[in-house]
Amino acid sequence: MPRRIRRFSLMAVGATLVGMLGLSTPAMAATPASSAQAASVGAAPSEIGFTGSAYGSRVIVGSVVQSGPSAYVGLGCTTQPGVVNTNSVASVQVPGELTTGTVDTYASSEAISTGIASTTSATTQGISVLGGLVSATTVQSVSTTSYDSQTAAFSTSAAGTEFLGLSIAGIPISGTPAPNTKITLPGVGYVILNQQISSVAPRGASLVVVGMDIVVTLSTPLAPVGTQIYISSAHSDLGNALSGVLDGIAYGAQATVGNTIIAGREFPQPLTCFGTHGVTRTNSGAAVAIPGILTSGTVTDTAEGRAHLTTPSAAVTSTVEGVNLASGLVTATAVSAAVTAIGNPPTLGDQSSFVGLSVAGFPAIGDNVAPNTKVSLAGLGTLWLHRQIKTANKITVIMVQLVVTVPSNPLGLAVGTTVNVAYASVSIG
């Protein structure tokens, strides 16, 4: 469950803070969420899908991701209550812009006394942004979207969202700010505290809660203009999928040893139950660096889907440029995993490709690699190229997968180490 932190009543911020920082709570496009906010329908939907996600921090400069979602957790896509996923990291460091302590995230599909709910939370400790200009001991964001089986109504709530030890420009602010409280940061930009964006409709609802959204709009030594820093983001969603429940994810790279994560999913882009209404969602980064294992250039991960159609559809891609795995063992100009699903039950497609692929010691391997090509590497393990895994309603492609099976190997990697490069998976059910 979401971590509980002690409540404080929001004290009046003194005239000094109002005058100095421009404290306001403007009417924004974002809609504050509460348990009273609901929309009813005449009959219960035939199938309701749960989805949700949470992360501790994210730093973007313009369109360039400097630090992707930390401790990202996703609920995936399910029509069943009882799914619980968690994640955590010890700290986040983005030099000059952000430091945090522990980040804990949580996502669940739940059966509640009145029906069902999707609940997510993100709790970030020891926050210091832009050299301490914005700081807090703890920021916890909680997002809950519910469906009442008796009234056939959807609703959203941010109950449980709390702040401890909040300080802006050295001025302490007690308690939890009102939803969408905007404070000017003189000479820098502004911060929105307890940002809430809610949507409630007859066939579904969703709520995004972001503890802090810091935006740099003025030239300052602290960070480039266009820098945006998010702290403690939680998103929950429920809705009737009508023609099919979508699911999918793309990411550029990951490295694990058994259940131990060496490097988490790089720049993941999930596809939610209800799709994107035809809009392509993108997560990208300038490079990947997993010391001693992998380097790359730009990573671009995308997801697009339509659930509310007679024929549902989904497409997920991961493109990684300038791949160099295991000190030149595998190199490529570009690697792209691209999968599709159309209909329910779906027709599954694979449009993945290599450009400039080279495997040391195997000169015959080029760009036109057959799916599920398996290469035995003496003294190291197994290399899969264009690995393709299919079930009746799901397709997964991992364009490069290295599995270490030999101890005391030249790379010094533990047996069981698995490295994925360019991963894309999609399903309709």
Instruction: List, as one string, the DSSP characters of 341-385.
Output: EETTTTEEEE--EEES-EETT-TT--S-PPTTEEEEETTTEEEEE
Report the DSSP pairing between strands 373-377 and 358-359: unpaired
Q: Provide the 3-class DSSP secondary structure of residue 15.
A: helix
**For the segment 30-84, what is each residue's pLDDT rounded down to a tens digit?**
444 444 444 443 333 446 888 889 999 999 887 667 787 888 898 876 778 999 9
What six digits make up the tokens of 182? Answer: 């905007």
How far is Cα 332 from Cα 296, in angstroms, rounded to an integer? 9
Residues of the chain with pLDDT > 90: what percent?
Answer: 67
How far is Cα 124 from Cα 139, in angstroms, rounded to an integer? 5
Q: Provide the 3-class DSSP secondary structure of residue 405.
A: coil
25 burial (CB, 10 Å; 0-12 / 13-18 / 19+) is middle
What is the average pLDDT across 214-240? 93
Q: Which one, of 308, 315, 372, lies nearest residue 349 by Cα?
A: 315
Helical (H) or strand (E) element with 16: helix 15-21
What is the average pLDDT across 414-422? 96
What is the average pLDDT across 119-128? 97
Position 309 confidence tier, pLDDT thresholds 50, 70, 90: low
Helical (H) or strand (E) element with 237: strand 227-240
Contact between 284 and 298 (Cβ < 8 Å): yes
pLDDT of 383 reads 98
Q: Which one, of 315, 319, 312, lies nearest residue 267 by Cα?
A: 319
What mean pLDDT is reported for the chain? 87
Global pTM reads 0.65
pLDDT of 406 reads 96
**For the segment 336-368, what is each residue's pLDDT rounded down to a tens digit?**
999 999 998 999 999 999 999 999 999 999 999
The domains of the chain are located at 15-240, 246-428
Position 278 confidence tier, pLDDT thresholds 50, 70, 90: confident
